[in-house]
Amino acid sequence: MYAIAYSMSELSQFVKTRRKLSGLTQEEFADRAGVALTVIRKIEQGKENLSLSKVNQVLQMFGHVLGPVNEKDATRNS
């Protein structure tokens, strides 16, 4: 299994792009992901003070999760 480290801006762009490809508004996406609209907005704005559980709840909509990544693996795979 390979791990890739993402910056908040890359995470933000990933979620925003995937949401739009799904044809969902932020409000619709938040509802389907089971999170508050503010969570989606904060993620898409690249805010750094987010709950990991909420971010993972959103990412699970795309079959992804965030977790600890070994620093060596992150640089090797970037």
Task: Specify whether the CB–CB gap between 65 and 56 falls below 8 A.
Answer: yes
- pLDDT on residue 6: 60
- Residue 76's CB is within 10 A of a number of other CB atoms, namely 11
Task: Specify whether the CB–CB gap between 18 and 11 falls below 8 A.
Answer: no
- What are the tokens at 18? 């995937």
pTM across the whole model? 0.79
How does pLDDT run across 60-73, given as a tens digit for each residue? 999 999 887 777 76
Q: What are the residue boundaries of the structural domains of the chain, listed by start?
A: 8-76
What's the CATH code, domain 8-76? 1.10.260.40
Residues 64, 72, 52, 11, Cα dihedral to 10°: -60
How does pLDDT run across 10-51, given as a tens digit for each residue? 899 999 999 999 999 999 999 999 999 999 999 999 998 899
Task: Specify whether the CB–CB gap between 18 and 62 falls below 8 A.
Answer: yes
